[in-house]
Copies of this chain bind each other. A is one copy, B any other.
Amino acid sequence: MKTTVGAVAEMVGGQLLRGEATHELTNFAALDQADGTCVSFFGNPKYREQLERTRAGLVLVPDGEVKADHAGALVAVANPILAFDQIVRAYGTLPPPFVPGVSPAAYVDPGAFVDPDSVSIAPNASVLRGARIGKGTRIGAGAVVCEGVVVGEDCVIAPNVTICQGCLVGDRVILHPGVVIGADGFGFEFVEGRHRKIEQLGIVRIGNDVEIGASTTIDRARFGETVIGEGTKIDNQVQIGHNCFIGRHCIIVAQTGISGSTRIGDYVVLAAQSGVAGHLTIADRVTLGGRSGAISSIHEPGGTYFGYPARPFKEDRREAMRVKQLGNLMKRVKDLEARLEDGAE
């Protein structure tokens, strides 16, 4: 990005309230991170204090009074958020455009089903025997699409992703780098002092419009399918065990783990670093707080749960409050003891 205050004001149809139209701008940033080279914006009254202290080269502000003593230029617009978005789209780091074709440095097995005119396969990607890639889909460098995998249309399979044999991926799915779909579930029988592997012969099925974050792992079913429902969004470093069934439009935040055979409803939110034990059922629209862990099923839809073991939010708060009052309670018991001693004398 290399633009000026004047060019930005013109692009967003704004009014230059203060500053030099010729001042150069080379970056974007939030108010508190911006320096003189940055465009920033003030779109939420919550950040008024940041606005007053920002050193941004240009701040997009709504019409009306603003206090921004340390900022460079100020440009007034009707909606600073939309105006900022417009600039970000014009100058941000866009993903590379879709260019159909199979790189000569990629490996596509002769037994794979790939139309080189409608898909994009990057260097050092591997598409193995029997795999099918839908039109408009791109396979990133170093990604591996194993035997018999089916990937739908308009997907982004990022670099160094692995999709293991037989797994099914819907349309418009995004798999970020390092994702592993369909590694074996973790199942063993203990026989004569050793753990004997239980073969994992199912697959993973990923619905349409699912997005899965970097280095997340989703294990294949023991038999049948591990399922990720349509529209569900999964963050980085999440672990989902074999035979899990995740509903539609869920949000699963980073470093969360779900043990095997658990069934998660629709519109469930699992906050960061949370966990759900195996063989449970979590009802629709349940929210599990950050770092909490469910060890029994939650059958009532829509509640918010915290803690470990996870329990209704209010109960968790109440208990935490009581623990905080323990010092006071101890003092009161000591007083009672002293008064009884006095009374006894």
Question: B residues within 8 A CB of A277?
Answer: 272, 290
Which applies to chain A's interface (DSSP): helix, strand, loop or mixed? loop
Question: B residues within 8 A CB of A195?
Answer: 231, 233, 249, 251
Which of B89, B159, B275 touches A144 (beta carbons < 8 Å)? B159
Question: B residues within 8 A CB of A308?
Answer: 291
- Asked if A98 is an interface residue, CB under 8 A from chain B, the answer is no
Please, how many angstroms separate the alpha-carbon atoms of A337 and B165 in the complex? 68
Question: In the complex this chain forms, how many copies of it are found?
Answer: 3
Query: Are B93 and A201 in touch, CB under 8 angstroms?
Result: yes
- Asked if A243 is an interface residue, CB under 8 A from chain B, the answer is yes
Within the complex, what minimum Cβ distance (angstroms) separates A114 from chain B?
A: 14
How many chain-A residues does the 8 Å CB contact rule pick out?
115
Taking CB as reference atom, which chain B residue is nearest A281?
Answer: B32
Question: B residues within 8 A CB of A326?
Answer: 319, 322-323, 326
Which of B219, B295, B324 touches A319 (beta carbons < 8 Å)? B324
A residues adjacent to B (C-beta < 8 A): 27-30, 32-34, 38, 84, 88-89, 92-96, 103, 105, 107, 109, 122-126, 128-129, 140-144, 146-148, 158-160, 162, 164-166, 174, 176-178, 180, 183-184, 186, 188, 193-195, 197, 199, 201-203, 209, 211, 213-215, 217, 219-220, 223-225, 227, 231, 233, 235-237, 239, 241, 243, 245, 249, 251, 253-255, 257, 259, 261, 263, 272-273, 275, 277, 290-291, 293, 295, 308, 318-319, 322-327, 329-330, 332-333, 336-337, 339-340, 343
